[in-house]
Structure 1
Amino acid sequence: MSAVPAVKAVLLDLGNVLVFHDNSLLFARLAARAGLEPREAARRLTGAGWTAANRGLLDAEGIRQDVCGALGVELPMEEFAPLWSSHFQVHDAVLPRVEGLAGRVKLVLVSNTNALHVAWLKPLLPVLQRFDALVMSCEVGHVKPEPAIYQLALQKAGCAPQEAVFFDDLPEFVDAARALGLRGFVFTDAPAFDAQLKSLGL
């Protein structure tokens, strides 16, 4: 029986791994500004525009126009940008463990996100400077669970699927990675993440 290849690359999700994001809070805050019920704001915003932003088809101004148009309210960018990113909280407990991986394995971020969230979060997460590559859906035009985004991440890491491990809070995205031959774990919290890494010899 052949030995399991050593892990050469760790691929990490962003949302609910390095930062928490509460979309219900985002919808509630946008709804309050637009004079809508949160459920109605969520209905209007969950759909084609969200996907287009994640694919990079909408730049920062395009996102502002799309969201404001859907909500029926006009907000200047200086008000909209912080409101659009007001639902994030850095996951401080996990950052030291991620920092400790730098230099030991290739670190690659693999995230479904949009231009405004990237601009907001990068200054809040200096740890991203320790990553070997940032594969942001809005910059590469592919989104999880499409195979292309995982394949691009592997290319950036310079390793085979069997040499990489992927962590994400969404099981369907982990399943997609496993289907390509990566090892995959559903991220739940910092202690479980630590245990999963230790099981891999990291």
Structure 2
Amino acid sequence: MSPRLHAVILDLGNVLAFHDNALLFRRLGERAGLNAQDAERRLSGAGWTAANRGQLDAEGIRGDVCGALGVDLPMDEFNALWNCHFTIHEAVLPRVEGLVGRVKLVLLSNTNVLHVEWLRPRLPLLERFDHLVLSCEVGLVKPEPAIYQEALRHAGCAPQEAAFFDDVPAYVEAANAVGLQGHVFTTAAAFDAQLRALGL
């Protein structure tokens, strides 16, 4: 018999908000006079990870990205481009809202300070979560075991008593390795079915 579920730990990107990275690289590339592939290649290095680990503040991200692309964009223009690829996943929000107060609700996301600043006011549901574990605030990133342990600490339960949902299979596998009940997130309808199977 499965243990009673005490917590649900959710990813942010492609769960609560879609992020179209192809669009991001295309738009940044266009502004820098590069094709999308060149923009992605230039931006997929250490700076991306440093931003997610919180080693770069807002100005640091702007400087790193602009330096990699060979342009110098003012912060307002850069910030609009840097967040152009997000769309709120409206269909999933009511289901997540329905979990509030029934289980501990924890967010676990690889993200950076500028994306957090942009998404917070557009996702007021985040205020209903018991805790947000953001890589840029804790200095850890998925799939490192320690970031899952940090989420569990805030969930206040044993690993097997928490369900974890992420769209990246490798991150789900890492969650399973620390004892969480990991599930690959695909669609709102599939999420609904997964929650029902868990008794939620």
Normalising by structure 2, what TM-score?
0.99
How far apart are residue 17 of structure 1 and its match? 0.3
Which whole-Å deviations, capped at 9, do the CAs of 1:34-58 have from their partners, x for residues lacking one? Answer: 1111110010001100000000000
- Report whether the alignment pairs 1:108 with 2:92: no
Aligned equivalent of 2:33: 35
CA distance in 2: counterparts of 1:86 and 1:193, whole angstroms: 26
* Match in the other structure for 1:78: 76
| Amino acid of the structure 2 residue aligned with 1:173 | Y
Aligned to 1:191: 189
Distance 1:26 1:128 in 2: 24
CA distance in 1, matches of 2:5, 2:45: 37
| Aligned partner letter, 1:157 | A
Query: Which TM-score applies when normalising by structure 1?
Result: 0.98
Aligned to 1:145: 143
What 5-or-longer segments of structure 2 have no aligned partner?
Answer: none
Q: Distance in 1 between matches of 2:197 and 2:170?
A: 22
Residue aligned with 2:99, SS: coil
In structure 2, the residue matched to 1:66 is: 64
Counterpart of 1:173? Answer: 171
> What is the aligned-residue identity percentage?
73
Q: Cα RMSD over matched residues?
A: 0.5
Which letter maps to 2:110? N
Q: 1: CA distance between counterparts of 2:129 and 2:196?
A: 20
Question: Unpaired segments of 5 or more residues in structure 1?
Answer: none
**Using the alignment, how far apart are the partners of 2:43 and 2:65 within structure 1?**
7
**Number of residues paired by the alignment?**
200
Aligned equivalents of 1:172, 1:39: Cα separation in 2:
24
Q: Deviations over 1:98-134 (max 9, x none)?
A: 0000000000000000000000000000100110000
